[in-house]
A = this chain, B = another copy of it.
Amino acid sequence: MFAFNPTPVSIPPKNAGLMLRQPKGLPVYIQPLNPLQFILRAAEIYPDKTALVHPDVEYPVHYSFSIWCQRIQNLAYALIQAGIKPGDRVAIIAPNSYVLHAHHGVLAAQAVLCLINTRLKPSEVAYILDHSGSSIILVDHEYLHLLPPNVKVPVVISKDTGRPGDPYEEFLSNGRAFSKERGWSGLEYPADESAPAVLCYTISGTTGRPKGVVTTLRGSYLAAIGNAYESRIHFESTYLWILPMFHAAGWTFPWANVFGFATQITMRTVDYPTIWKHFLNTEITHYCGAPTVQIGIVNDPAAKPLPRPITAIIAGAAPTANLIGALEARGIQPIHVYGLTQYGPFTRNYAQPSWAALSVQERSKMMARQGHSFATAQDVRVVYQPTSSSDTDSELVDVPRDGKTIGEIYFRDPEATRKAFRGGSFNSGDLATMSRDGSVSVVDRSKDIIISGGENASSLAIEQELASHPDIMEVSVVARNHIKWGERPHAFVILKSQAISKWEGRHDVFSVELKAYAKVRLPGFACPEWVQIVKELPKTSTGKILKTDLRKIVAKL
C-alpha cells in the first residue's frame, strides 16, 4: 500500500467499544434492522483489513475497517455538533469516496442521507436542497459551483485529501473533540426500523420536477443483504466503484460490501483506462454498472482477457445479447438485476441449468429477462387495475402488472405517494410480461412503446435485435410519426470504432443493410423505417438514454 497516515483523530482509542446503545421500549428479542450495524461488525471482526482505497488521486488514502469506523463515528458527532437531529436531511454533492463515508456516518447520526447527482444543473440542485429541507450540505470542492449563491445552511467542504488542513478533516476533528470519547456507546439506533435512511431524487429525462423517494432502514438492511448474497460478496472480494452512488444509493452496495467484509475501491474520475488498470492489476472481483457503461468497458482499447473472472452486476436497462457475449468473452460474468432508481436492485435473472445447452445468442435472450424477486424483497408482480380510473384503491389484478418491493415511500408528495402505492402495491411505471415460470420481462417504459399499424412494438425488443449487428456499438429506437402506420421505429445507431470508416459516406447503404438484418429477426411492424448513424446518444446524468430528447429530434423530421 502507498505511504499514507490517517489523521490522528481517525485512530480509535485503545479498547474502543463498538456497540451503539439499544433503543429503549422495544421487546428484548427485537433489534431494529439498520445497515449501520455492518461497519461496526466489520471493525470488530476484521479491524485491520483494508476497508477502502481511494488511489487514483493527488492525495491517495486507504483505511482499515477499524480506522474507517472511527472516522464514521467522528462524522456522526460532527453532524450532531452542527445541530443535526434525528430525521434531519444531510445533503451531499461529491464523488463516490466522500459519499461512501456519508452512507454510514449520516445514519450514525440518525439523519437521512440526501444524495444529489453531481451532473445536475444548479437550478435542479437548488430545487432539491429546498424541497428536501436539508439542514447541512456536504460538498466536494469541485462542485461548489452547484450550490445556490444564497445558501443558508452550513456547508462542509472536502478537498478529498484525507490530510490535515482539509476542511472535512477539521470537521471530523471537531466531531471527535465534541464526543468527549463517549464513542459508539454515546450514539443510539433509532427505535423505528422503518425510519427513513436515504432520500434520492429521480430526474430521468422527464419534464417534471425531481421527485424525492425515501428508503427505510429496514428496507436498506434487507436489500443490502440480498445484494451481498446474490453477488456472493465475501471477505476475499474487492469491489470497484464504477457506479455513481447518487444512482439509487449505489444500489445498496455501500452497505452490502461492508456486510460481506469486501474491500472497496473508489475513483474520483471514472474512465475506462483506469477501470481496466484496476481490472488487470488490483484483483477486482465485483463491480456494478448500467449497460451503457458496460458497453464502454468492453469496447475500450485497453480491454484484455482477465487473469481471473470478475462479476458484473448490471441494472438500469436489460443487457443485450451482444453485450452479454462481449462481457463473457473478456472473462466478465454478468448478473442481471432489476430495480428502480428509488431502491436499487430487487429482482434477479436466475440462470437455469438448461440454458447451458443454448447458444450464447439464445442464452443471452433468457438472461435479458428481469427475473424473480430477491428473497429479501416482496414478490414482484405484473398487474393491471380493472377500473379505468388510475387512482382508485381497487384491488390489482395480476396480469399485466407493475413491480413492487419493500421499503419505499414518496417524500413530501402525498398525491404521488398515493398514486404510486395505489391498490397496495408500488407502481414502477415499467411495462412487463410475466413468463409461465414467473420470470418478469420488462417490455418497455409505457411511454417508449411504439404503436405501429395498431400493433404495440417494444422499443427494447427492437434494440435487443439491432444491437446484435456486428458493426453496432449502441442503439436506441423511438417512435416517429408515420402517415400510414401512425408510428414507425426510428433507430439511432453508434457504430463500433472499427466500423466507422467502413461506412464512411455510405450511411444509406448501412441503413439498407440494417433494415434487411432486422427483417429476418423482427415482425414487419417492428422493423426500423429509418436508420440514423450518430456519434453519441443523449443520456441522463445516471447514464440512461434520454429518449425524450430523441423523440424531440424525430418530431422535427
Contact A30 B194 (CB under 8 A): yes
Q: Which residues of B contact A373 (CB under 8 A)?
A: 41
Q: How far is the CB of A229 from chain B (nearest CB, A)?
A: 6
Chain A, 26-42, CB within 8 A of any chain B CB: 27-31, 37-38, 41
Contact B28 A426 (CB under 8 A): yes
- Give chain A's interface residue range (CB within 8 Å of chain B): 35 or more
Q: Does A489 contact B (CB under 8 A)?
A: no
Contact A216 B426 (CB under 8 A): no
Closest residue of B by beta carbon distance from A229: B229
Q: Does A525 contact B (CB under 8 A)?
A: no
Q: Does A22 contact B (CB under 8 A)?
A: yes
* Stretch in A95-103, A375-383, A476-484 touching the partner: A375-383
Contact A22 B424 (CB under 8 A): yes
Contact A375 B22 (CB under 8 A): no
Q: Does A110 contact B (CB under 8 A)?
A: no
How many Å lie between the Cα of A234 and that of B436 in the bound state? 24
Q: Does A425 contact B (CB under 8 A)?
A: yes
Copy number in the complex reads 2
Chain A, 1-42, CB within 8 A of any chain B CB: 15, 17-19, 22, 27-31, 37-38, 41
Inter-chain pairs besides A17-B398, A18-B438, A45-B372, 16 sampled, C-beta below 8 Å? A27-B194, A28-B421, A28-B426, A29-B409, A30-B218, A41-B372, A41-B379, A45-B371, A45-B438, A45-B439, A225-B225, A225-B229, A225-B376, A229-B229, A232-B232, A235-B350
Residues of chain A touching chain B, judged by Cβ–Cβ distance below 8 Å, are 15, 17-19, 22, 27-31, 37-38, 41, 44-47, 49, 194, 216, 218-219, 225, 228-229, 232, 234-235, 259, 350, 352-353, 371-373, 375-376, 378-379, 381, 398, 406-409, 421, 424-426, 436-439
Q: List 27 A-B contacts (CB under 8 A).
A: A15-B436, A17-B398, A18-B438, A22-B424, A28-B409, A28-B421, A28-B425, A29-B194, A29-B407, A29-B426, A30-B194, A30-B406, A31-B406, A41-B373, A41-B375, A44-B437, A44-B438, A45-B350, A45-B437, A45-B439, A46-B350, A46-B352, A47-B437, A225-B229, A225-B375, A228-B229, A232-B234
